[in-house]
Structure 1
Amino acid sequence: YLEKCRQTEPYYVLNYLILAKSYQANNNPTKAIEVTKQLVKLPIRTPDDATLKTEGQKLLDSLQ
């Protein structure tokens, strides 16, 4: 469902963060890194996006 959400709503930052954490929990760090790199490049569209992108950057740093 998260992948489908990413296709239908490509700028929904929270979805990318949850998806990356899901890949990390499922021992798929390659996909988690890929999704997190996309997350940090997304534009800020809502007031929460800046905080979510910061959290995504921390996740990316811990994965690499």
Structure 2
Amino acid sequence: MKNRVKELRENNSITQDKLGEMVGVSRITIISLEKGKYNPSIMLAYKIAKIFNLTIEEVFLFEG
């Protein structure tokens, strides 16, 4: 699953550490998300989307 986490994080001047703190995960988890190596739980996807005032679908791009 592709996502816009890195793009949104950088556009908002948020570090990987800070985003991890904000959603309750480690920096390593954020790195894995950004590289597409980890698909988030629905709760984590919701928390990340909420930080950027977007929907889950606007952050995480589901491909069929």
| TM-score, reference length from structure 2 | 0.32
Q: Looking at both structures, which has the greater relative contact order when contacts are Cα pairs under 8 Å and sequence separation is at least 6? A: 2
Structure with the largest fraction of strand: 2
| TM-score, reference length from structure 1 | 0.32
Structure with the largest fraction of helix: 1
